């Protein structure tokens, strides 16, 4: 395990310790002031991530926010097989989750560490690095403040942060018995096999946090958000989705996005042949509830 991966594992274990017993008690129904939004990956608009590189640039598609503006933003990035960037820095820190293919993101002299579906990494502002892709690759990228800029290494700086690279095999998953974020099933069932992994933030002290939610094969139920803002991106599997204001069931392949403001019940199911994995950025808490 690389040093950055080891640090990430420690961070995840710490997050579990502070989060596993947080937030009991959730409202059964959303308020009338709630609003929701949905973006299918088939409907996104792809543009160059770094316009200065023209056709050599990866492609990007904004799911929410504005990466050219100053606000927090989430977007998809698509790399061709064999892509490798020159060494560069960014003006801001970003987080990433691999959706397809393989990503290597590290110091320019580091040995390749290929991260696959469900892997999580962070890239600190100002730190020189390269990004490479193996296979047709898509990742979800998130920033807390824009704009997102690509800059030369001559402008490198140290903001005190260090990179985190967590392979999917090192994600620490919590089940129903370990966290109140997963609600028990009806009395007739034995357990709720859904799982959650705390990636960043501390829900007890930080207003925003990031998690992965894994729903089992054939899952039927809901994700009930009680925070002020809830943003979710399908990472793996195919989620079937419905909520207040969206009456028809929407089939959401990886890269699709749904969100809400205020309390909201998001009804989600997974197909009978695969599980679903969803990345959630939440201001406040949520709970996974099986039917």
Using pLDDT thresholds of 50, 70 and 90, give the confidence band for residue 188: low
pLDDT at 158 over 60: yes
pLDDT of residue 189: 61
Give strand pairing partners of 286.
225
99 contact partners, CB below 8 Å, separation of at least 6? 76, 117, 138, 139, 140, 235, 236, 254, 255
Q: Judge whether 30 and 262 are in contact, CB under 8 Å.
A: yes
Secondary structure (3-state) at 42:
helix
Secondary structure (3-state) at 164:
strand
Secondary structure (3-state) at 169:
helix
Cα–Cα distances in Å, from 290 out to 38, 201, 218?
Answer: 22, 26, 11
Convert the pLDDT of each residue in 55-114 to its tens digit: 889 999 999 999 999 999 999 999 999 999 999 999 999 999 999 999 999 999 999 999
Least confident among 115-129, 148-162, 188-202, 266-280: 188-202
Using pLDDT thresholds of 50, 70 and 90, give the confidence band for residue 246: confident
């Amino acid at each position: 395990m690389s040093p950055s991966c080891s640090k990430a594992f420690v961070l995840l274990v710490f997050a579990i310790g502070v989060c596993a017993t947080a937030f009991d008690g959730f409202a059964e129904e959303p308020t009338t002031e709630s609003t929701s939004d949905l973006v299918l990956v088939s409907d996104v608009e792809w543009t160059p991530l770094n316009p200065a590189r023209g056709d050599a640039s990866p492609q990007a598609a904004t799911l929410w926010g504005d990466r050219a503006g100053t606000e927090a933003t989430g977007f998809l990035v698509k790399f061709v097989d064999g892509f490798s960037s020159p060494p560069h820095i960014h003006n801001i820190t970003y987080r990433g989750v691999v959706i397809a293919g393989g990503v290597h993101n590290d110091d320019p002299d580091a040995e390749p560490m290929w991260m696959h579906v469900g892997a999580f990494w962070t890239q600190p502002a100002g730190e020189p690095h390269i990004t490479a892709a193996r296979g047709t690759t898509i990742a979800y990228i998130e920033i807390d403040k824009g704009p997102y800029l690509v800059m030369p290494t001559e402008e490198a700086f140290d903001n005190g942060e260090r990179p985190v690279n967590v392979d999917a095999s090192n994600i620490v998953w919590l089940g129903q018995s370990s966290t109140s974020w997963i609600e028990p099933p009806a009395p007739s069932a034995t357990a709720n096999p859904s799982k959650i992994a705390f990636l960043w933030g501390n829900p007890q002290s930080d207003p925003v946090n990031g998690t992965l939610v894994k729903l089992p094969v054939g899952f039927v139920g809901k994700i009930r958000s009680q925070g002020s803002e809830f943003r979710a991106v399908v990472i793996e599997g195919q989620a079937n989705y419905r909520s207040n204001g969206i009456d028809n069931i929407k089939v959401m392949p990886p890269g699709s996005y749904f969100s809400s403001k205020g309390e909201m019940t998001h009804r989600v199911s997974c197909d009978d042949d695969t599980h679903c994995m969803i990345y959630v950025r939440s201001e406040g808490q949520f709970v996974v509830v099986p039917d």
